[in-house]
Structure 1
């Protein structure tokens, strides 16, 4: 029996950690644990975890390039039948290369998997917002 995610009250998830690769597994575990009780398919859980991991990896590799590393924050909410995930940092936006070669496909993967992707950049950091349909 499918659970209607729109009618289930779900607490927000917030994970704020240093932007280092050693924290990625923790983020993936916490996000998957937050998603599972919502009642979405296991394939959607995998997709969300995949692209959030990609956004966090981009933060680790690019946001603090050439400056002291700082935090990254993952916030997830269930809003009107949509899973909304924000990944933010206090670093500097690095635009993807026009010819990515074997790298630089993270944002394209996010756009392919998510219902919506929005990237907001400012001198104070970057926030990537992804939305996913959580209705059964």
Structure 2
């Protein structure tokens, strides 16, 4: 796939419903409690990120329903990167999840350095993007020459 094809494919990246997320986790912030990892885009990465995010969610004060939504959409976003953006060459998936630096809520970023592929007929699968749009309070998908980034956020962080 040459550069023109990559840009053209990126133009087909879907938008998700609602406003985009703003204000991201800042791993450099003092006392930061979150996840920041990067792995090769291989099938085992999905399981590794799922376990890491689950451990982070279990150790925090995040509402159980929101925690389950976060776990599910991280799984979907990482699976999409591994199966669709990076199937034919080496690339990586990065995850950053934690409290929003501007206060209030949590946010998650999943990015890859692969190539966006337009959606085809989903058949029995292929509904991950729709699921992300429904389960995250705010979400966006940005695709370009450098890869794809899925940004998701939720306003509530504690059970109560």
- Classify the TM-score, shorter chain: 0.7 to 0.9
Does 2:136 correspond to 1:114? yes
* TM-score after normalising by structure 2: 0.72
Partner of 2:113: 90
Residue 62 of structure 1 deviates from its aligned partner by 0.7
- In 1, the alpha carbon distance for the partners of 2:37 and 2:82 equals 15
Structure 2: state its 5+ residue gaps. Answer: 1-30
> Which is bigger in relative contact order (C-alpha 8 A, separation at least 6)?
2
Say which is worse superposed, 20-29 or 117-126, in terms of deviation.
20-29
Shift of 1:64: 1.7
User: Does the alignment pair 1:74 with 2:110?
Assistant: no
Shift of 1:72: 0.4
8 Å CA contact 2:106–2:157 kept in 1: the answer is no
Where 1:117 maps in the other structure, the secondary structure is strand
- Consecutive unaligned residues in structure 1, runs of 5 or more: 1-8
CA distance in 2: counterparts of 1:11 and 1:83, whole angstroms: 11
Task: Give CA-to-partner distance per residue, 1:4-60, whole Å, 9 cap, x none.
Answer: xxxxx5423211111111122221111122223331122222210111000000000
CA distance, structure 2, for counterparts of residue 65 and residue 135 of structure 1: 35
From 45, 48, 52, give the equivalent of 2:70.
48
- SS of structure 2 residue aligned to 1:38: coil
Count of paired positions? 126
Matched residue SS, 1:74: strand
Displaced runs of 4 or more, over 4 A: none
